[in-house]
Amino acid sequence: MTAVYVALAAPFLAALLGLLGGRRWPGLVVPVAVGGTTAALVAASVLGGRVVLDAPLSLRVQLADVPTGGPPFGIDLRADGLAAMVSVAVCVVALCVQVYSTAYLKGDPRYSSYAALVSLFTAAMLLVVFADDLMVLLVGWEVMGVCSYFLIGHHWEQEAARAGAVKAFVVTRLGDVGFLFGIFALVRAVGSFSIDEVVRSGVGTERTATVATLLLLCGVVGKSAQFPLHTWLPDAMAGPTPISALIHAATMVAAGIYLVVRLFDVFLQAPTTLAVMAVIACITMLGGALAALGQDDIKRVLAYSTVSQLAYMLAALSVGSAVAANFHLLTHAAFKALLFLAAGSVIHAVGTNLMPDMGGLRRLMPVTFLTMTVGLAALAGLPPFAGFFSKEAVLGAAEETARHGNGVAAAWTGWLVLVVGLITVAVTAAYVTRLWLMTFLGDRRGAAAAHESGPAMRWPLLALAVPSVLLGIVGLRDGWLPRWATRGDAGEVAQASLHVGLATSGVSVLLAVAGAAAMWLAWRRNPAADPTAALRARPAFERAFWVDEMYDRGVVGPVRGMARAVLRADDEVVTGAVRGTGRGATGLGRLVSLSQQGNVQTYLTGLLAGVLLLALGVVTLT
Amino acid sequence: MRELLLPLLLAVPLVGSLVLLVAPPRRAERLAAPFGTGVALVTFVVAVVAAATFPETDVPWVPSLGLRLHLGIDGISAPLVLLTSGLTALCMAYLLRIRPEAGRLRALVGLLLLLEVGMLGTFVALDLLLFFVFFEVVLVPMWLVIAQWGDDSVPGGRRRAADVFILFTLLGSVVMLLGILLVGLEAGTFDMVELAERQGAGLSRGVQVLAFLALGLGFAVKTPMWPLHTWLPDAHTAAPTVGSVLLAGVLLKMGTYGFVRIALPIVPEGAEVVAPWLGALAVVGIVYGSLACLAQRDLKRLIAFSSIGHMGFVLLGISTLTPVGVNGALYANIAHGLITGLLFFLVGAIKDRHHTAQIEVLGGGLYERMPRLGALLAFGAVASVGLPGLAGFWGEMLVLLGAFDPADPLPRGYYLVLMAVAGVGVVLTTTYFVRLLRRVTQGTSFQAWRDAVLLRDASPHELLVWAPVVVLVLVLGLWPGWLLDASDPVVRALLGGAP
C-alpha cells in the first residue's frame, strides 16, 4: 500500500507547497511540480510492475470509519489491476504535461498556481482511481471538477475563458447532483458506502439497480461529456492546451468511464440502464464526429473528437464489455494527449487556433508533424496503430452481443452500436484527414513564421507517440489486458477476453479509408480552402446541431427570468414590511432615541436593566 | 471546580463588558480593542477546556419555583461554543487594526462581549427559561451594533434595518416564550435534560403540535426560514463587518440549535406532524435564496441571501428527523458559520476599500488588483458551493442523504421530491457563486480602481485574522469524523434512539 500512499501524497503535497509558497520561491515551482508527479509515476509504476510480473494484484486498506448517523463511510483505498493500469496512464500523461508546460507557459505570471493546480488535479484523479469508498471517490471526483474550473479559467482576462470555466463547472455539477443521489440509492440498498461491498453483494432488485445506475449515469454523462451534457467540453478548450490534453482528453473525462467499470457488476444488473447508455453513446458518437467535421478551431475539432471517442467507451460498456472500454480508455489517453500536445505545439508556433490560417507546416515542424500524424492515424483507427485495436475491440464486443447476445445487454443494442460505430469510423477518418490536410499540407497561409518547438515540448510528444503505436499490439497479447483491466478475480480474468471479428475489422478499415479518401478528393480540388465548405449540412455541424442555443432558450433564459422575479418580489415584500413595521418601530424608536442622546454608559446600563427586567419578567410570569 | 467552568465561561465576557462600562472613557477608548481581544481569548481558552471536559452545573436558581441554573455542554453544543468564542476573538482581533468608521470602539467592544454572553449562554443553557433569557440577551446588543455602526446602503437606512431585525425576532420570541411556558407548565419542569429524556411522554398530541409550532416560529425567525427571512438581507447588508460575521456566523445558528436541542426531543410527536411543512419551507428557501442571489447586484446582500439558502439545507436536515439528517444539519451549521463568517470578512474588506459593494461599480479584476483577497474570495466561494474536501460539503451531503431516507412516519416519496428540489438548489448555488467570481475577481480592473492608491491587498494583520477560519474550513473538509464522532451519539440520544 505504500505505493498508493506515495502516489496520492506526492502530488497533493506538491500542490500545497506550490499554492502556499509558489509566489515566494519561484525557483522551486518547476522542481516541486515535476518532482511530485514523477514520484507519483514511480509509485504507480511499482504497482503496474507488480501486475505485469506477479499474480493479479488486490490490496485493500481501511484507514478510518466516519459515522453519519446511518451507515458509516470509511476512508478506504484499494489497488488492483484496473487501478494500477489507470494510475500509470494518469501519471504518464500528467508528467508529460508538467514537463511540456514548463516551456508552454514560460513567463506566464500565474505559472506557479497553474502547476500547483495540475498537481492537485493529479492527486484528485488518483484518489478516484484508488478509492474503495463511494464518498472518498466523490471527493476526488469533485476536486477534479474544481481544478478543471480554475484551469479552464487560467486566462481570465479573456471572455471565452471566463465563460468556458463557468459552463464546465455548472454543467458537470448538474450531473454530479444526480450522481450523488445514485450513491444514496446504492447506500440505501446495500447499507454501506464501501465499493467493495456494493460490488460484492449486489443491490438486490433490478428496479433498485436501474434507479441507482441511471442516477449514477447522470454524473458519468456530465463528467465524460456525453449527450446531452456534452456542451461544456468544446468550450473548455479556452483553457491552456496542456490542460486540454491532461484533463479534457486523457484523464478527467475518462473518470466517468472508469467509474462505470468500477461498479460494472451493478450496471450489469440493470439492462434498462445499459440500453439507455447505448442510445446516449450512439447519439454522442456520431453527433460528436459530425460536429468535429465542421470546426475551424483545431482544438475544438479535437474536443468533439474526444466526445465522440468517449462515446465508444460508453458503447463498449453498454454492450457488456468492460475490458474493451478499458482498452480504448488506455489507448485514447495516449493518442489524444499526444494530439493535444502536438496541437499546442502548432498553436504555440503559429499563434492561432484556426486551421484556415495554418497549412504547410509539414516541413517547418517535422517532429510535430510526424508525431501528430501518428496520433491522427491512431484516432482514425488505422492498423497497426493503437486506436485500431481498441476500436476493433469495441466493435467486436458489439458484434458479439448482436449475434450471440451476452445474457444482459439486448441484441438490438449490439446492432445499434455496431452500425453507428461503423458509420462513425468513416466520419472520424474524414475529420482526421481534414485536420491533417488543413494544418500540415498545402501552402502556408498565415503570416507568422512558424518553427519547431523546443525540447521540453518535443520530448513529451515523442514519449506519447510510443504508446500510441505500440499499446494496441501489446493489448492483444493473450491475457495481458484482462489482467490489467479487471479487479483481479481469477474467474473474471479468464472470462474477459477480447473478440475481434475479421469481417467487422475489414469493413471498418474500408470505411476509414473511404472517409479519408473522400476528404482528400474534396481537398485536392482547392488545397487552400476548407474541404467541407461545400457541404450543405456544414452550419449544423459547425454549431453542433444548435444544442447550446436550445439550452440558452430552454434553461438559461427561464432561470434568469425567475431569478429577477424573485428578487423583485422580495424587494417589494421587504419594502412593504418595512413600511408596516415602520409604524410599530416609531414608538420603539422614540424610546430608543431618548437613550441614544446619553453616552455609552447609559446604553449599557439600559441594556443590562432590560435583560434583568426580562429575566425577572419570565420568572414572575411563571 | 468543574462546576464553575461554565459559569466562568459566561462570567469572563460579562465582566469584561462591565469593566469597559465603568472604565475612564478616554483611556478605555484607546485600550478597548486590545482589552476585548484579551477577554475574548481568555473566554476561548475556557471554552476549549469546557469542550474537552464536558462539565455540568446544576444549582438552584429560584428555589420557590423549582427553577435551576442548569448549564451543560456536550457533543452538539461544544462545536458551537468553540465557534462562538473563536469567531468573537477573531472579530476582536480584527478591530485591533481596522476601526469602524463610526469609531466609539469602547462601546462596540463592550456590546460584542455582551453579545458573546448571550450567544454562549444559549448554547450551554439546559433550562428552558434560562435558554430563553440568553436567547433574548443577544437582541439588544446586535440591534445597537447595526443601528450605530452600520451603514446606510439599504432602503430606509440602518436604523430601519435594525428595527426590522429586532421587531421580527422579538415577535418570534414572544411566541416561543408561549411555547416554552406551555411545555413547562404541562410537563411540570423546565429542565431540558429531563424533558428530552421523557421524549414527550406526558404531553398530549395537541399540546405537542401547538408547542412545536410556537417554539418553531421563534427558531424559524432566527434561522431564518422562508418566508420569515425578510429581516435578514437588510440587517446583514447594513451591519458593520464584525456585526455581519457574528450575525451570520453565530446568531442564525441559535435558531437551528433550538430546533435540535429543544423542539425535536421535547415534543417529538409535534415534530412528526410539522416536519413535512418545515421541510417544504426549507426547500423553498433553498431555491428562493439561490435565485435571489443569481440576480443580486450587491455583493454583501448576495452573501446574505446565500445564508437563506444554506440555512434551508440545515432546516431540511432537521425536518427529516433522522440521525443522518440532523448530524448533517449540525455539520452544515458549523460549516456555514465558518464559511459565511469568512465571506463576510472578505466582502467587508472589499467594501471598506472601495466604499461600495455594488457589483457593477466594483467591476472585475480583483485577482489582478488584490490577488490575495481575490484568491481568498474564490476559496470562500468554492467552500460555500459545497466542494467535497472543504467543510461545506459534508453537512449538505448528509442532509440530502437524510431526505433520501427520512424517519419512519414521514412520507418518503414527498421527501424524495424535496431532496430533488434541494439538488436543483445545489446547482443554482454553484451557478451564482461562479458567476460572482466571474464578475468580481476575473477580468480586468476599471481604470478608477487602478488609479486609486489606497487599494491595498489584504494586510498581514487581516490574513492572520482570517487564517484560522481558512484552516478550519480545510480541516473540517478533510476530516469530517472530527465533528461527526462528537455529534452522532448526542443526536441519536436526542432523537430517542440508543446512543
Q: For residue A112, what is the enclosing H or E element?
A: helix A111-130
- Asked if A619 and B67 come within 8 Å (Cβ–Cβ), the reply is yes
Contacts of A50 (CB under 8 A, 6+ apart): A57, A84
Contact check, Cβ <8 Å, A559/B382: no
Query: Nearest CA to A128 among B388, B380, B396?
Result: B388
- Give the integer Cα–Cα distance in Å for B232 and B239: 10
Q: Over 70: is that where the pLDDT of A353 sits?
A: yes
- Most distant CA atoms of chain B, gap in Å: 71
Nearest to A314 by CA among A303, A302, A322: A322
- Average pLDDT estimate for A162-181: 91
Q: Are residues A297 and A398 in the same domain?
A: yes
Give the H/E segment covering residue B168. Answer: helix B157-187
Provide the pLDDT for residue A282. Answer: 94
Q: Are the beta carbons of B292 and A563 separated by less than 8 Å? A: yes
Give the list of residues 6+ apart from residue A240 with CB closer than 8 angstroms, or none: A101, A104, A105, A114, A151, A154, A155
In a domain, A458, yes or no: yes
Q: What is the mean pLDDT of residues A2-27?
A: 85
**Lowest mean pLDDT: which of A389-393, B180-184, B201-205, B446-450?**
B446-450
Q: Which three cell numbers stand for residue A8?
A: 496520492
Q: What letter would DSSP give residue A249?
A: I
Q: A531 with A595, same domain?
A: no
pTM metric for this prediction = 0.90
What's the pLDDT band for B367 if we cut at 50, 70, 90? confident
Closest by Cβ to B438, choosing from A166, A188, A592: A166
Phi/psi of residue A131, nearest 5 degrees: -65, 140
Contact residues, chain B, for A560 at CB < 8 Å: 294-295
Residue B364: per-residue pLDDT: 80
Any idea which of A598-607, B281-290, B371-380 has the lowest mean pLDDT? A598-607
pLDDT score of A619 more than 80: no
Q: State whether A564 and A442 are in the same domain.
A: no
Nearest CB to B110; choose among A64, A581, A604: A604
Residue from the list A180, A560, A566 with its beta carbon closest to the beta carbon of B397: A180
Using omega within 30 degrees of 0 as the cis cutoff, is the peptide bond preceding B224 cis? Answer: yes
Domain end position, chosen among A485, A511, A535: A535
Q: Note whether A578 contacts B160, CB cutoff 8 Å.
A: yes
pLDDT of residue B165: 86
Rounded-to-integer distance, Cα A393 and Cα A187, Å: 33
Whether residues A506 and A591 fall in one domain = no
Residue A595 banded pLDDT, cuts 50, 70, 90: very low
**Is there a contact between A140 and A127 (Cβ–Cβ < 8 Å)?**
yes
Decide if A205 is inside a domain: no
**Does residue A494 carry a pLDDT above 60?**
no
Which of A163-177, A427-441, A496-510 comes out lowest in average pLDDT?
Answer: A496-510
From A510, A535, A560, the end of a domain falls on A535
- pLDDT of residue B113 exceeding 90, the answer is yes
Q: Average pLDDT for residues A473-499, to the nearest whole number?
A: 58
A165 contacts in chain B (CB < 8 Å) = 434, 438
A585 and A495 assigned to the same domain: no
pLDDT at A579 over 80: no
User: What confidence category does residue A486 fall into, taking pLDDT thresholds of 50, 70 and 90?
Assistant: low
Residue A487: pLDDT over 70: no
In chain B, what percentage of residues exceed pLDDT 90?
A: 47
Nearest CA in chain B to A567: B292
Q: What is the average per-residue pLDDT within A234-242?
A: 88
Residue given cell 447519439 in the structure block: A283
Give the phi and the psi of residue A477 in degrees, each rounded to 5. Answer: -55, 135
The pLDDT value recorded for residue A55 is 64
Q: In sequence order, what E strands does B45-128 have? A: 56-62, 67-72
- Out of A500, A535, A570, a domain closes at A535
Q: CB within 8 A of B169, min separation 6: which ones?
A: B139, B221, B222, B231
What's the helix, strand, coil split of chain B in %, to 5?
80, 5, 20
CA A267 to chain centre: 20
Instruction: Evaluate whether B299 touches B362 at the Cβ level (below 8 Å).
Output: yes
- The identity of residue B238, as a single letter, is A
Say what the pLDDT of residue A177 is: 92
Q: Do A70 and B295 touch (CB under 8 A)?
A: no
Question: For position B66, what pLDDT does the model report?
Answer: 65
Confidence of residue B39 (pLDDT cuts 50, 70, 90): very high
* Domain identity same for A480 and A606: no
Best residue in B10, B29, B164, B435 for a mutation probing chain A (most A CBs within 10 Å): B164
Tell whether A439 and A572 lie within a shared domain.
Answer: no
Q: Are A556 and A166 spatial neighbours (Cβ–Cβ below 8 Å)? A: no
A443 part of a folded domain: yes
The reply to whether A488 and A588 lie within a common domain is no
Helix (H, G, I), strand (E, B) or coil at A460: helix
**CB pairs A-B closer than 8 Å:** 209
What is the phi-psi region of residue B104: left when phi exceeds 0, alpha when psi lies from -120 to 50, beta otherwise?
A: left
Measured in whole angstroms, the distance separating CA B395 from the mean position of its chain's CA atoms is: 14
Residue B339 above 90 pLDDT? Answer: yes
- Same domain for A496 and A555, yes or no, is no
- Give me the torsion for CA of A25, B376, B478, A162, rounded to 10°: -90
**Rounded mean pLDDT of A416-437?**
92
Across the range B284-298, mean pLDDT stands at 89
Pairing, β B56-62 against β A73-80? unpaired
CA–CA min distance A164, chain B (Å): 11
**Tens-place pLDDT, residues A48-71:** 888 777 666 778 888 888 888 888
Chain A positions touching B413 (Cβ under 8 A) are none
Over residues A504-514, the mean pLDDT reads: 89
- Residue A162 within a domain: no
* DSSP reduced 3-state for A451: coil
State whether A622 and B181 contact (CB < 8 Å). Answer: yes
Q: Which residue in the set B185, B190, B484 is minimally distant from A66, CB to CB?
A: B484
Q: Which of A70, A562, A589 is closest, CB to CB, to B163? A: A589
With a CB cutoff of 8 Å and minimum separation 6, the contacts of A424 are: A285, A286, A289, A308, A312
Is A69 contained in some domain?
no
Query: Residue B111: what residue type?
Result: L
Please give the residue range of the domain that contains residue A614.
Answer: 550-621
User: Which range scores top for mean pLDDT: A176-185, A540-549, B20-29?
Assistant: A176-185
Number of domains in chain A: 2
Q: Quick one: A361 and A436 in the same domain?
A: yes
Residues of chain B contacting residue A181, judged by C-beta atoms under 8 Å apart: 400, 404, 419-420, 423
Cα A244 to chain centroid, rounded: 10
Question: What's residue B159's pLDDT?
Answer: 84
Claim to verify: residue A330 and residue A462 sit in the same structural domain: yes
Query: Mapping DSSP to helix (H, G, I), strand (E, B) and coil, where does residue A243 land?
Result: helix
Q: Is residue A262 part of a domain?
A: no
Average pLDDT over residues A109-115: 87
Chain B residues lying within 8 Å of A156, measured CB to CB: 367, 441-443
The region that residue B321 occupies, defined by phi over 0 for left and psi between -120 and 50 for alpha, beta otherwise, is: left
> Does B484 contact A170 at a Cβ distance shorter than 8 Å?
no
Interface test with A, best of B61, B397, B440 (most A CBs within 10 A): B397
Among A311, A187, A504, smallest CA distance to B398 is for A187
Cell numbers placing A344 = 499546442
Average pLDDT, chain B: 89
What local confidence, expressed as pLDDT, does residue A72 receive?
86
Query: Cβ separation of B444 and A157 shorter than 8 Å?
Result: yes
Q: Which of A121, A171, A564, A567 to mutate to test the interface with B (most CBs of B within 10 A)?
A: A567
The Cα A120–Cα A151 span in angstroms is 11
Q: Which long-range contacts (CB under 8 A, 24 or more apart) does A109-113 make?
A: A110/A154, A111/A29, A112/A18, A112/A22, A112/A23, A112/A26, A112/A29, A113/A18, A113/A19, A113/A22
pLDDT at A578 over 80: no
Which pLDDT does position B25 carry in this prediction? 81
> Number of C-alpha atoms within 13 angstroms, CB side, residue B38?
10
Instruction: Give yes or no for residue A106 having a pLDDT over 80.
Output: yes
**pLDDT score recorded for residue A495:** 47
Amino acid in the structure at residue A560: R
Q: Please tell me whether residue A78 adopts helix, strand or coil conformation.
A: strand
Mean pLDDT of A216-244: 90
Residues 6+ apart with CB under 8 A from B29: B104, B105, B106
The answer to ipTM > 0.85 is yes
Rounded to whole angstroms, how far apart are CA atoms A26 and A258? 36
Over residues B298-323, the pLDDT tens digits come to: 899 899 999 999 999 999 999 999 99
Residue A57 contacts residue A81 (beta carbons within 8 Å): yes
Q: List Cα–Cα distances, A235 to A161, A227, A546, A550, A565, in angstroms.
A: 8, 15, 14, 16, 30
A124 in a structural domain? no
Alpha-carbon distance A227 to A284, whole Å?
5
Q: Residues near B241 by Cβ (< 8 Å), separated by ≥ 6?
A: B94, B98, B100, B344, B345, B348, B349, B351, B352
Q: In which band, very low, low, confident or very high, does the pLDDT at A19 lie, cut at 50, 70 and 90? A: confident
In a domain, A112, yes or no: no
Whether A76 has a pLDDT exceeding 60, the answer reads: yes
pLDDT at position A598, please? 42
Q: Output DSSP code: residue A24.
A: T
Q: Percent of chain B scored above 70 by pLDDT?
A: 98
Q: Please tell me whether residues A481 and A554 are part of one structural domain.
A: no
Which of A491-505, A598-612, B400-414 bottoms out in mean pLDDT, i.e. has the lowest?
Answer: A598-612
Q: A245 near A372, Cβ under 8 Å?
A: no
Q: What is the pLDDT of residue B442?
A: 85
Mean pLDDT of B174-182: 89
- The overall longest dimension of chain A from CA atoms, in Å, is 100
pLDDT at A484: 61
Phi, psi of A159 (to 5 degrees): -60, -40
- Residue B6 · residue B123 · CB < 8 Å: no
